[in-house]
Amino acid sequence: MADYYELLQVHPKADAEAIRAAYERLRERYAPERLEGAADELVELARRRRDEIERAYSVLSDPQRRAEYDRQLHETLRPAPPAAGAKAAAPPPPADDDELIDFRPLPPARRQERPPDFNPQPYLSAQSRRDAPRRGRTATQAQPVWLLPSLIVAAATFSIVLGTLISTMVVAPAANAPTAPTATIVPPTPTLREVLTQFDGQVIAAQQVVAQVPDNPNAWINLGNALFDSVVYVREQLATGDAETQRIYQERLPRWLEAVDAYRKALELQPGNDVVRADIAASLCYYGLDTGNPQRAQEGLAEAEQALRAAPQDARVLLSHGICLIAVDPPQTERALQQWRLVLSIPGVNPGLQLQAQILINEHSQ
C-alpha cells in the first residue's frame, strides 16, 4: 500500500494547510516546463512522480477519504499474529498516548525525495528508538537527552497537532445510508506567507533542540537545513517577478549566513562530513551571488573545491560545486554544466537529485 504521507513528505498528523503547502511545492518542482529538453527517462520519471503526488493529495485533502485511508494504513502496518508457541508482541501504543508520539517535525527534505527507508510514523516504539540512527530519526535509547527537546517541540506545535486531530476526526457514514453527491472543492493555493510559516516552525523547533543538545552534530545539521530551506524556497519564487517576494527574500538573505554558522558548528563536531561542507559552500555562494559579494562566493567555492576533492562522486557535493561555479565572477558556466551532467551519469543517484541537476542544466544552458 502506497504511503501517501511519505510521497508528500509530511507527517501523518500534518494538518490540511501543511499538506496543501507540500503538494504545491512538489507539484511546482516536477512541472513539465522545468524539464524541457531533458532525457526521456527523466521526463517520464517526473510524469510518474506528478501522478503519484496528485493521487496522494486527492486522498489526503479529503477528510473522509483520508480517514478511510488512515484506517487501511493502520491495518496494513498492524503486525502479523505470532506463530504458534511464539511470544506475542507488545500491543502498539494507543493513539492518545502522547508520551509515545514523536511530535518533532520531519527532517527537512532539502528539495529531494525521501529515502526509501525513511520512517514517517510518529510512534516511538522501543524498536524504532533502537533503529533511529538508521532511519533518519535522532531520538534513541542511548540518547535520552533528546526527550526534553521533543517535549519542548511538542508544546510549540500543540496548536498544529490540535487542528490536525480535529480535522481527522471524521465520522464515517452509516452502512447503506444514502449519500448525497458533493461538489468538488478546490482548496485555495497557499500564500507565500503561509508556506513560510511552516518553514519558520521548523527553524524554531531546530533552535530549541540545539539549545538542549549543543554537542550533537545532527542537531546543528537540522538547524542548518531548516534555515537553508526557509530561504531557498523564497529564492525559487523570485522568477515570478512579484515585488512582495523580492522584499521577503531581501529580508531573509542573512539566513544564508545563519545556515553557514550552523553547518560550521556541525563540521567542528563531525569534521569528515563532506556533504555538510558542500552545504556550507552552497549557502555562501547563494549569499555572495544575491548580495553582489564576490568574496563570499569565492569563500564558498573554496569550501566546495575541498568537499569535491574528498568526495568527487557525491551528487550533493557536485550540485553545490556547480552552484558556486555559477556564483563567482566571472561565472564558470561550462564547468558547472559538466558537474551537473556528471550527477546524471552516476549510477544509483537519488532521482530527486538528478531532477534538480537537470533543472539547473536547463536554466543555465540558455
Contact present, 351 and 113 (Cβ < 8 Å): yes
Q: How many domains does one find in the chain?
A: 1
Q: Is 69 helix (H, G, I), strand (E, B) or coil?
A: helix
Alpha carbon distances (Å) from 7 to 53, 114, 121, 152, 198? 7, 8, 13, 28, 18
* 210 found inside a domain: no
* Percent of residues, the chain, with pLDDT higher than 90: 33
Kindly state whether residue 37 falls inside one of the protein's structural domains. yes
Contacts (Cβ under 8 Å, ≥6 apart) of 102: 122, 123, 124, 137, 139, 150
CB 324 within 8 A of CB 351: no
Is residue 116 in a domain?
no
> What pLDDT sits at residue 42?
73
Q: What is the CATH number of the domain that holds 27?
A: 1.10.287.110
* pTM of the complete model beyond 0.85: no
List all residues 6 or more positions away from 343 whose beta carbon is below 8 Å from its beta carbon. Answer: 315, 318, 319, 349, 353, 354, 357
Establish if 41 belongs to a structural domain: yes
For residue 38, the enclosing domain spans: 1-77
Q: What is the per-residue pLDDT across 157-183, written as a single tens digit (0 to 9) for each?
A: 444 444 444 444 444 444 444 555 555
Give a yes or no: residue 1 inside a domain.
Answer: yes
pLDDT in tens, 281-295: 999 999 999 999 999
**Residue 53 within any structural domain of the chain:** yes
Q: List pLDDT tens digits, range 105-151.
A: 444 455 454 444 444 444 444 443 333 333 333 333 334 344 344 44
Residue 94 has pLDDT above 60, yes or no: no
DSSP class of residue 78?
S
> From CA 30, how far away is CA 49, in angstroms rounded?
7
Is 23 part of a structural domain of the chain?
Answer: yes
Assigned domain for 259 exists: no
Average pLDDT in the chain: 75
Model confidence at 188, pLDDT cuts 50, 70, 90, reads low
